[in-house]
Amino acid sequence: MIILKKSLLAAALTFSVLMPVAGHAMEASNIIYGVQMEEFEYRYGEGGEKLFAFDGDAFIGTDELKLRWEGSGELDLNVNRFESLSNQLALQTPISDFWDIKGGVRFTSPEGPDRWYAVVGLSGLAPQWIEVDTHLFLSEKGKLSADLDIEYEILLTNYLTLTPSANIDVAFSSDREIGVGSGINSVEAGLRLSYDVWDRILSPYVGVVYERKFGQTANYVEAEGESADIWYAVIGAKLMF
């Protein structure tokens, strides 16, 4: 409980740093908002696995300060149970023309006990217009972890886009209760071909996804009789409102 209080205090301190930077702008700027689903898809695995997966976010605020929700999850359709579910709420403000800093709290429902985290993160555009989103997490158990999400859109035509992506999860110490080992514990790589049906509001896609667990995390997964690596065929749509 003490560690949880420290985690929430860290998030509160982050808010206090972000608020003065953008507080004045909120009075002068119009409120903007939006919702998008980068992934909203059905996955079929090489071993007959069937998943529904989503990854999206919503925001409200100004150009200088936004409140942003980010959520992701994987629902195992074979047993009608979430393999993972994450919700994050953070304040976000720009620190340069291409980069934003954010801070807040995250709640996850993995296999095992639920977890609360304090979060700080950085998102923006790297050279060559590569989209980058990365976070540092401190759990209520005092466990430190991080993730890195990279995506690049290759415009083949005015309507057809090829999007390679990669997500890397790292833990600086193991958390056996939720099946996470120390080090690089998982990598997900995807390649999706989308067609813009309606001005980027609706873009159906097909693609492939490869997931692999490493180290102790792979050992935990294999001990439960599951595979540490798997290929999926995917079909879904990108949505933006």
Predicted local confidence at residue 29, as pLDDT: 56
Tokens of 137: 């997490």
Query: Closest by alpha carbon to 159, among 43, 241, 238?
Result: 238
Question: Rounded to two decimals, what is the model's pTM?
Answer: 0.83
Predicted local confidence at residue 68, as pLDDT: 98
Q: Looking at residues 162-178, what average pLDDT do you find?
A: 94
For a pLDDT cut of 70, what percent of the chain falls above it? 88
Contacts of 68 (CB under 8 A, 6+ apart): 57, 58, 59, 61, 89, 90, 91, 92, 102
Contacts of 157 (CB under 8 A, 6+ apart): none
Query: Closest by alpha carbon to 2, among 141, 144, 175, 117?
Result: 141
Tokens of 85: 């579910």
Least confident window among 9-13, 106-110, 164-168, 191-195 = 9-13
Predicted local confidence at residue 112, as pLDDT: 77
Least confident window among 24-38, 60-74, 87-101, 213-227 = 24-38
> Quick check: 175 pLDDT over 80?
yes
